[in-house]
Structure 1
């Protein structure tokens, strides 16, 4: 487990990173990448959207282009204060301070869930993904952006020591274990040579259990 896959250390890290976050973020996750990811979700004007790990509000700003019903959750008050300055405390966005692994919402509370730049700090990613599935309406989608695992050995050792980096196979495993279906992965990159992001879009199974039945039928055919 990386040094920042610890909630108290991550909060301390962001206490200082929040001061410069909006200036350095575009080098690894810029507006073009965010907007490409947003298009994958097909957000409708009346959708109620949750932004988990909302930070300074970079993704929140993009979500507001699609719907006025945006809710943002983060564990770092220092990051949230930067977002308050952009949107007000409860004017355009409803803010919550909380934990991705224990979301303070009822089942099926949201139509869409977005999370970017947060999964790499979760000690138990599958627990958080199960929470995502719980709070999103059956049949609807979530999108999670995290850091793609480096291809070369030295960078892999560094990545493992810092926080969670993962590839498509690991992303598939985590989302399947959390109970999602129709899982797809997209690799995004600001420029050649810069860190890559892995963007995963997945769907919460239908409430009638039809997805599980379909999956079972498919497995039977393949066998």
Structure 2
């Protein structure tokens, strides 16, 4: 387990990162990549959407270009403070502080569950993916964006020490164990040589 897959360490990390997150994030995960991933979902205005690990609301902004309302959840109070500062408390986003591994929502609550830049901090990603599946309605969609495993050995060792990086084979294992039976992976990159994102678009089985 990487250093930042510990929840208390991750919260401390984001206490400080939240101050510069919106300036740093575009170098790794930019609007073009975000919008490309959102385009996979074919969203309708009345879709119920949950943004797990919403952070400061970068993905939430993009989702709101397609739907009327988004639920945003994050474990970091500092990230949520930034997000609330953008959207307010009476706007189109309903924020909630919570844990991806214990989502505070009923079964079958959402048409779409989205999570970008969060899975790498989950100590038990399969448990969290099961939770995403649980709160998504049968036939709905789950889209997860995480960091693709580096190709070079020196970066692999660094990645393993920090947080979860994974390849398509590992993603297949996690989604299968979480109860999904249909998904596709998409590799995204902001520019040549920059870190790659692995974006997995999964369908929740019909009952």
**Which range, TM-score by smaller chain?**
over 0.9
CA RMSD of aligned residues (A): 0.6
State the aligned residue count.
207
Match of 1:148 in 2: 148
For 2:46 and 2:89, the matched residues in 1 are separated by 21
Q: Secondary structure at the match of 1:194?
A: coil
**Which structure's CA Rg is the greater one?**
1
Task: State the Cα deviation string for residues 151-199 of structure 1 (Å, max 9, x = none).
Answer: 0100000000000000000001100110112210000000001000000
For 1:128 and 1:3, the matched residues in 2 are separated by 18
- Displacement of 1:91 in angstroms is 1.8
- Displacement of 1:69 in angstroms is 2.0
Match of 1:200 in 2: 200
Residues 1:25 and 2:25 aligned together:
yes
Match of 2:91 in 1: 91
Match of 1:217 in 2: none
Question: Structure 1, unaligned stretches of length 5 or more?
Answer: 208-223
For 1:92 and 1:69, the matched residues in 2 are separated by 5
Structure with bigger strand share is 2
For 1:166 and 1:9, the matched residues in 2 are separated by 20
Question: Structure 2, unaligned stretches of length 5 or more?
Answer: none
For 1:6 and 1:42, the matched residues in 2 are separated by 34
- Displacement of 1:143 in angstroms is 0.2
Deviates more, 1:70-79 or 1:84-93: 84-93
Counterparts in 2 of 1:90 and 1:99: CA distance versus 1, 3 Å: farther
Report runs of 4+ in structure 1 exceeding 2 Å deviation: none
Matches within 5 A, 1:1-223: 1-207=1-207
